[in-house]
Structure formats: structure tokens, C-alpha cells
A and B are shown apart, each in its own frame.
Chain A
Amino acid sequence: MSSSWETIPALWQWLSTGSNWSGENGAWQRIAEHLVLTSTSLGLACAIALPAAAWLGHIGRGGALAINISNIGRAVPTFAVLVLLTLSPLGEHGDWPTIIALVLFAVPPLLTNAYVGVREVDHDVVEAARGMGMSGWHLLRRVELPLAFPLIMTGIRSAVVQVVATATLAALPGGGGLGRIITAGFRTYDTAQVVAGAALVAMLALAAEGVLVAVSQVFDPARRRTKAERRWRRAGQGPSTYNEAGALPVSERKPV
């Protein structure tokens, strides 16, 4: 392995060599695999978690459950889950161990944030809506979900960051995705390739985060609110998933 000062030109060399990008093991292929894995599992996780969370939040049950799932989840190493699933009978079914692991780790932030978002909608607003004759489905769709939007998006952001990171790790038990560039580099003692793979992963993770911040701003139903209202919300006076210390969302889990 080369020392740190030789790495930067070597990194540039790797990134500017066309053959590293094309072909079956090329970077483009790995990026495509990464995106397919990420979007499939994110879609599945949203389909499972969001309706369940919205309904539970609407009827006001299961809060302790949602939060406990997140807390327990944090103690379980993602790497261990990936390897366990790969060694289980599921391991013979291609990408499924990876996808299931990704879904498992995307569900808690989605569930907790959406649940708390719907649950913590101002009670007076809900009462007013009821007084106007709204009930059940209408109340959820017209009042609770729009007000819970910022928190639901926070959950989706955590889930995406989590999924992009976990998809990297899937390379260790031999799955696809960008992590493969890193693990292949380790195998051949090619520091430049290891660092190039890492740089690509980091850029993809940051890009995903950036896209979601933009998406949540564009689609925020409260976008047309006054500046003062938005400042109030940003200052954390609105519904929040903050823990007892008021510091960190309860669903927070370091993306692997």
C-alpha cells in the first residue's frame, strides 16, 4: 500500500482511466447497482412503514412500539445482519438478503418520524377540523399528513442515507453496489482504487442527502407560509421527535 502523499495523484489516475468506469465491474455498473438496490428497498420500506405509521399516529396507538424498535435497532450491527441473512437459506436468492437488510434498516426512521409527525399535530387543529365535519380518512389526508410532512421527510432522509450506506456494506458478503470497488481494491492492495471507491460512495451519499433536502423544500405543503412561521418551525417549536435532552431525534441511528 502506498503512503498518503502518493495517493492523490494515484486517485486522480484511477478516476480518469476510462477502463475503470466501463464494463461489468466498472464504476458505472456499480453505481447503477447501487441505485437499483437503494430505490427498490426504499420503495418497499416506504410501502410498509408509511401507511402503518400514518394509521397508528391517526388512532394514537403504538408509540412506545415505534420508539422501541428504533432503540433496539441501533444496537444491532448492520454488518452482522447482512452476513446472517447471507448465510441463511435466503443467501441463495441473489440480491434478496441485501434488499431485506436494507428494508429492515430503513423502516425504523420512516416509522418513528411519520408516527410522531402525525401524532403530534396540534390538538386544537384536529379538533377544529372535526368541528368542520372532517373525520377519519379526510382528517388524515387533509390535515394530519400535510402538517406531519416535515417530519415524514426527515424520516425519508434518514432512511435514504441509511440505505445508501448499507448498500455499500453489502459488498462485504459479496453483494453488488459501489462498495465492491472498495473491497476489490483491498483484495488487490490497490490503495488508489480503495480511496477512489470511497470517494464515489461519499459523493453519492452526500448527493442523495442534497437531493432530498431540495425535494422536501419544493414539496413542503407549508412552503407558502410566512417567514415568521417557518422560523418558528425551524426553531423546533413545531412537532418534533426530539428525545428527553431535546437534542437528537429519537430515530437517529448512525448510517453504517
Chain B
Amino acid sequence: MTATGCLAANDWICGEYVRSRRYELLDAVVQHVGIAFSSVVLGLVVAFPLALAARRWGAGPVLGLTTVLYTIPSLAMFALLLPVFGISAGIVVTGLVLYSLTVLVRNLIAGFEAVPEEVREAARGMGYGPRQLLLGVELPLLLPALMAGVRIATVSAISLTTVGAIVGYGGLGNLIYSGMENFFKAEVLTASAICVVLAVLADLLLLGLQWLITPWSRHRAGRGKVL
């Protein structure tokens, strides 16, 4: 079978498709990563004050609200945001930010709770003020919990960005959508596979980042119970 043969035969796997549409694929990847990345970053920016507020005034309302948002299916979420933003990438990013809040806020709160009270006492005894305590002691100690949340939020965001195809801002999801409408198997499979690869790569990168920024946890890695 010749190289163009697989396009004509509508095979699932087709090197010619990848070669001839590589710029289209690249654009889709750039849009995909842009949407997923900016929503996790924005999610972090929003989650921090929420977690601090939850710590001060009780976690109930914040956790309740974010959990309710989490339950709303993405197609419905994007549709509900349609009148607010019109057709734009803002719909997808906002939806994903709202979803990422659930994981990020929950993990931040759990991280704060996991900081031993003795450590706080010791820091206060050494003359740390509230801000120094937060930035110098609590923040580093809750990094593992936070990073676990960021990993889950990122992988979910990459997977959910595909649904943004409904408004034309779904990155690789756009290709899956058009492939579905034209019954173009190679387009669907290639875009789906790249999507999974992106999610796994992002997860590994974040794992590496966590390894870099928490040097102290490496020494007791062997003892930690991982489940």
C-alpha cells in the first residue's frame, strides 16, 4: 500500500495524515496546551485565597460550592457559560478553572491541616510573623499535597479541554470533532493519542518539578506509604 493509500482507505493509523497535516496538528496542540495550562494557573491563583478563607472561616461553604460545581457535566458547564462569554476560549478556560478549584482547594486545605502544630509553635517561637510563617514554613510543607492536586487538575484539564470542541476551542478536541463529522478515522485516533501523550507528559513533568522543589522529601522517600 502506498503512503497516500492509507488516506484513501481511511485507515486508523496513517503516517501520511501526520505528515500532511502536521501544522494543523501543531496548532491544535498549542491551543490545547494553552487552554489547559492557563486554566490550571488561574485555578491556582483563585484557589489560594479560597483556601486561606476556608482556613479562617471554616471549610464547609467553600468545599460545598466547589463540589457542586464539580458535579456539573462539562458540556452543560460550557453551555451555561455561553451567554456570559459568547463563543470564545474564555468559556473553556473558565469552566476548567471552576473544575480545578475543587481539587486544588481540597488539597490545599488538607495540606494546611497536615502541617504539625509543633512546627508552627517552633516557628512562632523563633519570631516568625503570620506572613513569614505562611510563606517560609507552611507553604513548603504543603507543597507535596498541593502538587498532588496540581497533577490531578492538570491531567483532568488536558482531558476535558477536548469537550471545548463544542464551541470550537477544544484544541485537539476540534480535530476529534471534525474527524467524527467526516468519518476520518486517522484524524480522530491521532488527535486522541496525542491528547493522552500530552496528559502523561504533563504528569511526568509535574512529578519532576515536585522532585526538584521538595529536596527534603527525597531522603525519606523510601519510608513513605504511597497509596
Chain A positions near chain B (C-beta within 8 angstroms): 1-4, 7, 67, 74-81, 83-84, 86-87, 116, 161, 164-166, 168-169, 171-173, 179, 182-183, 185-186, 191, 194-195, 197-199, 201-202, 205-206, 209, 241-248, 250, 252-256
Q: A161 CB to closest chain B CB, in angstroms?
A: 6
Given known A-B contacts A79-B163, A83-B180, A183-B166, A194 and B79 have beta carbons under 8 A apart: yes
Compute how far the CA of A29 lies from the CA of B156 in the bound complex, rounded to whole angstroms.
Answer: 31
**Does the CB pair A244–B227 fall under 8 Å?**
yes
Q: Mark B31-60, 1 if CB is under 8 A from A, else 0.
A: 000000000000000000000000000000
Compute how far the CA of A252 lies from the CA of B86 in the bound complex, rounded to whole angstroms.
Answer: 31
Interface residues of chain A: helix, strand, loop or mixed (majority): helix
**Does the CB pair A245–B145 fall under 8 Å?**
yes
Chain B residues contacting A75 (CB-CB under 8 Å) are 155, 158-159, 196, 199-200, 203
Q: Which of B69-97 contact A (CB under 8 A)?
A: 70-77, 79-80, 82-84, 86-87
Given known A-B contacts A83-B176, A183-B166, A245-B144, A3 and B72 have beta carbons under 8 A apart: no
B29 at the interface (CB under 8 A from A): no
**Does the CB pair A247–B196 fall under 8 Å?**
no
Q: List 22 A-B contacts (CB under 8 A).
A: A1-B86, A74-B156, A74-B199, A77-B158, A77-B173, A77-B195, A79-B176, A80-B195, A171-B75, A172-B180, A173-B180, A195-B82, A202-B80, A244-B225, A244-B227, A245-B144, A245-B148, A247-B111, A252-B152, A254-B159, A256-B73, A256-B75
Q: A192 CB to closest chain B CB, in angstroms?
A: 9
Q: Mark B156-184, 1 if CB is under 8 A from A, else 0.
A: 10111011011000000100110110010
When the two chains form the complex, which single residue of B73, B145, B146, B196 contacts A205, counting CB atoms closer than 8 Å? B73
B68 at the interface (CB under 8 A from A): yes
Chain A residues contacting B77 (CB-CB under 8 Å) are 198, 202
**Among B16-24, B130-138, B185-193, the stretch in contact with A:** B185-193
When the two chains form the complex, which single residue of A3, A172, A199, A241 contacts B80, counting CB atoms closer than 8 Å? A199
Closest to B142 in A: A245
Q: A111 CB to closest chain B CB, in angstroms?
A: 15
Closest to B110 in A: A247
**Among B1-9, B99-107, B121-129, the stretch in contact with A:** B99-107
Q: A163 CB to closest chain B CB, in angstroms?
A: 10
**Does the CB pair A248–B188 fall under 8 Å?**
no
Chain A residues contacting B189 (CB-CB under 8 Å) are 84
Please tell me the number of chain B residues within 8 Å of chain A, measured between CB atoms. 60
Compute how far the CA of A81 lies from the CA of B191 in the bound complex, rounded to whole angstroms.
Answer: 11
B209 at the interface (CB under 8 A from A): no
Compute how far the CA of A70 lies from the CA of B183 in the bound complex, rounded to whole angstroms.
Answer: 30
Supply 15 further A-B pairs (C-beta < 8 A) apart from A77-B176, A246-B114, A253-B156. A3-B83, A74-B155, A79-B176, A87-B185, A166-B73, A168-B73, A172-B166, A179-B73, A195-B82, A198-B77, A209-B71, A248-B107, A254-B156, A254-B159, A256-B74
Compute how far the CA of A186 lies from the CA of B155 in the bound complex, rounded to whole angstroms.
Answer: 28
Q: A178 CB to closest chain B CB, in angstroms?
A: 8
Chain A residues contacting B177 (CB-CB under 8 Å) are 83, 172
Chain A residues contacting B226 (CB-CB under 8 Å) are 244
**Does the CB pair A84–B188 fall under 8 Å?**
yes
Chain B residues contacting A197 (CB-CB under 8 Å) are 76, 79
Compute how far the CA of A133 lies from the CA of B196 in the bound complex, rounded to whole angstroms.
Answer: 49
Chain A residues contacting B87 (CB-CB under 8 Å) are 1
**Does the CB pair B68–A206 fall under 8 Å?**
yes
Given known A-B contacts A87-B183, A252-B152, A165 and B74 have beta carbons under 8 A apart: yes
